[in-house]
């Protein structure tokens, strides 16, 4: 986050802005309540955008060339570089302006939301952006808080309210906040209007869990001072639950709210491809400078001879003779620079921009990424990163709501050593069937009833206040309960209480200090004596109640590791086995136990508890001792298994990511055990993995020691896979001093799980990996506002449109509705975008080398007089018209492998990892190919046509323009055909633009050369093209040269494919063998199959005879696939009978 500039350490807030009347009071200045996530304003758009665009090497370079052309006499007109530059700048600016306008729209929606504020004795409706610090704001049930408020009062007498902070820290449970007693009684607008109070608190900071302040309330004559802590601060972005309305005073507004301070400022993300492009540009600049300097030197070397310096037909003027040598040299050098400048492709940037912008629509249109239940489709917020989706090496994911549905469901329980499941609202022991004689039991056995009562009493669940008891309570006449609406601070408890109520023991609420339970329609009232709260060290919670019969009971529930050792009776061993079985299924387990007290024991306990609770020194330690004294000699009742439902296909997705060579890290705010159990159930950790732990370290030294041991262990048994579990506190210690060691351990683990993480810690972990020496490409995916900083830090941020607000979606680069869509997004969209843009970039450099090298070679034949080979119209239009569309259409529609195959074989993703297609080797290949083709164009034309002069029917000679046009014609055809060779996926649009470009060139040339254009100052091209085409030998030369260029290319492709096919090319074969309708990815080539068999099978396939039974399910052993990949031949839902 950022620290706002404040002079003093505290701020003083006068409630309802009642400033003191006397004395010289200068009110502090506070920011308004607007949230700003956009980059530009109307005023700074033009200068800021231009500055950002000219930071790009190519744009800046073209600006310089344009200025040079304006200043000196150059061979080509300034329009040749000015026009394309203007076009590029405008298109890019429009695109970026549109994206920023969308951000403005989203901000305005938030800032313009209606809120109610208390002003001059009444409620006034205003917009969210108009709230000032000191205003009293009213918030109703289920609304989100528009600012950070200090709670003044609620509709409850005690001034308490319940809040869920899901969109801030990912916790869905209810938190209770309380107001100070002096203001809690002011429940009406009129009373609040009379309140005179001052709040002093710290200046804003990013920590969600810290708030220090005090409130001074003036009543009649005295001033009452009360402390304020985090329990009285309601944060912007949190939601009010289970409370009709609250009043609070705004303390932090706008960009100073804790939510906004937890955002990282949005920096411009740039993809790896763009970085490669810049380095290629620099190489080409060097080639350009080399060519220009060489030409200039050769020109002067040549002119050293008298006869060439001033031939008889070209005498110099006085002015030329007297001008200085150095100036002439510089101007010649600049002229060559301008002549060759087209080797740097300016339209590359605009084509890439268009490709990204238009290509991003495909993600939104993809029906596989559309989620029907919520009617949400994938959304693209930044189109600059499409190809980065194909380069991901690390995925950082949040757990709650991203991997899971965030809905707990009761699955099974173990009571008294017997396993039960819930069947149609009845507890059924395992092995019972409905129709067995005993299957239809209505009553519960004693142990079962006691167990369910324990579940119903030992919790902190509340009931929705709206459901008051009618005459019959919540029971209908037929004895079936209408479901009560429960609220709980932990979703597990809610699931358990709901399950108990379905089975027949219903918790119907608390009144005063008693809890009511209805067991099979019979109401019982238990008096609540003490609650021993849950804490992470004890890992259990207890209640002490007095039953209707007067005996004192203790009910305890908690993790098995904290309950079983303290139990002395009950089916301990059987329950332990059951708990392990539940955990293996990925259920969250809790054990339940109880203890009866004799009156003497109870008195002793009461006394000890009172002493510990009122102690001033070491209160925590004392309480812990007393709790341990109370919770012992327990009788075990049983255990429960609750499932946090994983989203569908999470396991398959994580497995697929792993096959694709992507490492998955789970970063969550959850408890250690929960996180581990979900990790196991979603396949992030395997059962066979060796799980290493780095948790609960308080000091630097122990943490370092543990890290060293882990590193040693990994070195010793490197055969098995390791998983690492880290918690927030240990992580911050590890990052402080021992980053290198920690990274070393992490990189050797195949899965890492970080639990108990604060939002900014998540971002720190991502940054740590991002900046490590290998510089891997990272992707973060999450659904709550607690994931925003991580989403903004990673190279690619993905928001999940979950239950937790839209914060993550608004700040992400891409948004999808479910985690399972990630595989399609990366393996299909990412893969295809990367291939498309990689080819696009290389091809652009290639066609510009083809374009300018003949110009360079031509200088050797024209005494380096800077004569251009091509007409200036051709120079301008080559990149804009003649060769631009085929490559743009290719970069939008190309699918070199069928998407279905890409998704079902995640291993293909490894083929493009680490920017493989834009490495130095492919770049070198394309560049050399460009030079080779250019030499063939030039010398081919020269040998075939240059020496024989009278090739026209009437005996006329060829001129230099005819020669240049011949080279240009051959070039346009070859370059377009080369693109056609690269294309695997032909649509009618591809055909149209490919052949259309060649036809357009011919029609344009005939038209351009067939008319005398009045506004051109030279008519060099008049009738040149028509004459060229009227010569038969010219046609012959064109065909011969084009074939010569492309023949070698085709041969190379064929040989490479047969001798050293990549796995992608094998997949293309698979797909080609799978015919038109039958796209089952299971039909792979079997070992030792001849070419004829594959042809035969293809014919059978085409004739519709593909029988699923004969489908051959084997990889060939030479495939570079990994041993464990054989299990997953297809992850898609496609079934073979569709053949």
What pairing do the DSSP bridges indicate for beta strands 778-782 and 796-800? parallel
Residue appearing with tokens 């979606």: 809
What span, in angstroms and rounded, lies between the C-alpha atoms of 1103 and 519? 68
Length of the chain: 1139
3-state SS, residue 90:
helix
A 10 A CB-CB count for 420 gives 21
Contact present, 784 and 800 (Cβ < 8 Å): no
CB atoms within 10 A of CB 37: 17
767 neighbors 792 (Cβ within 8 angstroms): no
Q: Kindly name the residue from 135, 148, 384, 398 that is annotated as catalytic.
A: 398
Between CA 854 and CA 869 the distance in angstroms is 8
Rounded Cα–Cα distance for residues 573 and 564 (Å): 9
Looking at residue 420, what DSSP letter applies? Answer: E
Contact of 516 with 509, CB cutoff 8 Å: yes
* Nearest one of 898, 902, 855 to 874, comparing CA atoms: 855
Phi, psi of 624 (to 5 degrees): -60, -40
> What is the crossing angle of helices 920-941 and 1032-1059, to 10°?
160
Q: CA 364 to CA 370: how far, in whole Å?
A: 8
Q: Determine the Cα–Cα distance for residues 786 and 235; give it in Å rounded to an integer.
A: 13
How does strand 404-415 pair with strand 418-423? antiparallel
Contacts of 769 (CB under 8 A, 6+ apart): 394, 743, 746, 776, 778
CA distances from 819 to 404, 419, 709, 816 (A): 9, 33, 35, 8
Contact predicate 122/207, CB 8 Å? no
Cβ-based neighbour number of residue 954 at 10 Å: 7
DSSP string, 98-154: HHHHHHHHHHHHHHT-EEEEEETTEEEEEEGGG--TT-EEEEETTPBPSSEEEEEEE
Strand partners, 567: 634
398 catalytically annotated:
yes
Q: Cα separation of 294 and 902, whole Å?
A: 48
Which among 824, 681, 878, 974 has a CA at the least distance from the CA of 362?
A: 824
Output the six-digit token pair for 862: 């024209």
Cα–Cα distance, 320 to 335 (Å, whole number): 16
Q: For residue 600, what is the DSSP state?
A: H
Catalytically active residues are 398
């Amino acid at each position: 986050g950022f620290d706002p500039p404040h002079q003093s350490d505290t701020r003083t807030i006068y409630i309802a802005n009642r400033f003191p009347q006397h004395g010289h009071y200068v009110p502090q200045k506070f920011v308004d309540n607007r949230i700003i996530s956009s980059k530009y304003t109307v005023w700074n758009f033009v200068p800021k955008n231009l500055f950002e665009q000219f930071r790009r090497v190519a744009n800046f370079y073209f600006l310089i060339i344009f200025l040079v052309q304006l200043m000196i006499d150059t061979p080509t007109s300034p329009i040749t570089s000015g026009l394309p530059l203007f076009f590029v700048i405008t298109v890019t600016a429009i695109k970026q302006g549109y994206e920023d306008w969308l951000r403005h729209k989203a901000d305005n929606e938030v800032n313009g939301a209606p809120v109610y504020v208390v002003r001059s004795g009444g409620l006034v409706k205003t917009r969210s952006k108009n709230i000032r610090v000191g205003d009293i704001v009213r918030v109703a049930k289920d609304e989100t808080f528009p600012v950070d408020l200090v709670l003044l009062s609620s509709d409850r007498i005690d001034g308490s309210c319940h809040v869920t902070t899901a969109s801030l820290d990912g916790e869905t449970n209810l938190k209770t906040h309380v107001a100070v007693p002096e203001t809690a009684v002011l429940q009406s607008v009129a009373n609040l209007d009379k309140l005179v109070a001052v709040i002093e608190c710290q200046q804003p900071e990013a920590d969600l869990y810290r708030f220090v302040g005090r409130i001074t309330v003036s009543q009649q004559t005295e001033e009452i001072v009360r402390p304020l802590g985090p329990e009285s601060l309601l944060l912007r972005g949190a939601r009010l639950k289970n409370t009709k309305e609250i009043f609070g005073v705004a303390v932090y507004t706008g960009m100073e709210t804790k939510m906004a301070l937890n955002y990282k400022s949005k920096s411009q993300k740039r993809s790896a491809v763009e970085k490669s492009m810049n380095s290629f540009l620099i190489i080409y600049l060097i080639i350009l400078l080399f060519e220009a300097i060489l030409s200039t030197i050769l020109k002067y070397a040549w002119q050293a001879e008298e006869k060439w310096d001033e031939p008889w037909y070209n005498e110099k003027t006085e002015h030329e003779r007297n001008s200085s040598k150095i100036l002439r040299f510089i101007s010649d050098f600049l002229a060559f620079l301008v002549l060759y400048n087209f080797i740097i492709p300016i339209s590359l940037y605009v084509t890439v921009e268009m490709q990204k912008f238009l290509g991003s629509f495909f993600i939104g249109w993809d029906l596989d990424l559309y989620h029907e239940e919520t009617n949400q489709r994938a959304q693209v917020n930044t189109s600059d990163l499409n190809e980065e989706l194909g380069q991901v090496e690390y995925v950082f994911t949040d757990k709650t709501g991203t991997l899971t549905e965030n809905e707990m469901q009761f699955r099974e329980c173990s009571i008294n050593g017997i396993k039960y499941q819930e069947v149609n609202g009845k507890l059924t022991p395992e092995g019972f069937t409905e129709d067995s004689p005993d299957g239809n039991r209505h009553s519960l056995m004693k142990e079962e009833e006691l167990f369910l009562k324990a579940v119903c009493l030992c919790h902190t669940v509340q009931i929705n206040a709206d459901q008051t008891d009618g005459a019959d309570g919540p029971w209908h006449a037929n004895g079936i309960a209408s479901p009560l609406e429960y609220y709980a601070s932990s979703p597990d408890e809610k699931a358990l209480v709901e399950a108990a109520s379905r089975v027949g023991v219903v918790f119907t609420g608390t009144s005063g200090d008693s809890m009511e339970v209805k067991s099979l329609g019979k109401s019982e009232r238990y008096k609540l004596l003490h609650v021993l709260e849950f804490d992470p060290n004890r890992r259990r919670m207890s209640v002490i109640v007095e039953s209707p019969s007067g005996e004192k009971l203790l009910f305890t529930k908690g993790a098995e590791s904290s309950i079983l050792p303290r139990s002395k009776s009950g089916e301990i061993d059987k329950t332990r086995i059951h708990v392990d079985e539940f955990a293996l299924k990925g259920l969250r387990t809790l054990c339940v136990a109880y203890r009866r007290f004799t009156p003497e024991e109870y008195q002793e306990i009461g006394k000890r508890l009172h002493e510990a609770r009122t102690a001033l020194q070491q209160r925590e330690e004392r309480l812990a001792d007393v709790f341990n004294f109370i919770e012992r000699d327990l009788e075990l009742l049983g255990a429960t298994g609750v499932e946090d439902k994983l989203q569908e296909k999470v396991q398959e997705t994580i497995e697929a990511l792993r096959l694709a060579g992507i490492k998955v890290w789970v970063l969550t705010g959850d408890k250690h055990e929960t996180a581990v159990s979900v990790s196991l159930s979603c396949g992030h950790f395997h059962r066979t993995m060796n799980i290493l732990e780095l948790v609960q370290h308080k000091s630097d030294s122990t943490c370092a020691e543990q890290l060293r041991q882990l590193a040693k262990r990994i070195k010793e048994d490197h055969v098995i896979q390791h998983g690492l579990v880290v918690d927030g506190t240990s992580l911050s210690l590890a990052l402080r001093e021992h980053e290198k060691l920690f990274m070393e351990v992490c990189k050797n683990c195949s899965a890492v799980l970080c639990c108990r993480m604060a939002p900014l810690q998540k971002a720190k972990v991502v940054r740590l990996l991002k900046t490590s020496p290998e510089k891997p490409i990272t992707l973060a995916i999450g659904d709550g506002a607690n994931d925003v900083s991580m989403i903004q830090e990673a190279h690619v941020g993905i928001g999940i449109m979950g239950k937790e607000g839209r914060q993550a979606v608004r700040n992400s680069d891409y948004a999808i509705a479910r985690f399972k869509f990630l595989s399609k997004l990366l393996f299909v969209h990412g893969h295809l975008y990367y291939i498309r843009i990689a080819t696009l970039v290389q091809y652009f450099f290639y066609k510009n080398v083809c374009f300018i090298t003949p110009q360079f070679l031509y200088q050797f034949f024209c005494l380096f007089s800077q004569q251009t080979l091509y007409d200036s119209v051709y120079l301008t239009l080559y990149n804009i018209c003649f060769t631009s569309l085929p490559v743009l259409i290719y970069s939008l529609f190309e699918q070199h492998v069928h998407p279905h195959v890409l998704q079902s074989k995640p291993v293909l993703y490894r083929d493009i990892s680490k920017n493989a297609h834009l490495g130095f080797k492919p770049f070198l290949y394309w560049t050399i190919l460009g030079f080779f083709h250019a030499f063939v164009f030039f010398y081919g034309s020269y040998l075939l046509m240059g020496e024989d002069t009278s090739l026209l029917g009437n005996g006329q000679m060829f001129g230099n323009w005819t020669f240049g046009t011949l080279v240009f014609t051959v070039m346009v055809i070859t370059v377009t055909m080369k693109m056609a060779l690269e294309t695997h996926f032909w649509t009618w649009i591809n055909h149209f633009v490919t052949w259309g470009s060649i036809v357009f060139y011919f029609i344009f040339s005939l038209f351009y050369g067939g008319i005398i254009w009045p506004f051109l100052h030279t008519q060099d091209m008049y009738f040149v093209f028509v004459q060229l085409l009227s010569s038969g030998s010219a046609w012959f030369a064109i065909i011969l040269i084009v074939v010569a260029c492309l023949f070698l290319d085709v041969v190379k492709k064929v040989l490479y494919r047969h001798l050293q096919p990549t796995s992608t090319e094998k997949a293309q074969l698979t797909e080609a063998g799978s015919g038109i309708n039958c796209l089952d990815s299971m039909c792979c080539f079997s070992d030792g199959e001849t070419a004829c068999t594959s042809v035969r099978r293809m014919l059978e396939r085409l004739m519709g005879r593909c029988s699923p039974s004969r489908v051959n399910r084997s990889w060939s052993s030479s495939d570079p696939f990994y041993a464990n990949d054989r299990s997953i031949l297809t992850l898609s839902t496609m079934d073979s009978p569709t053949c």
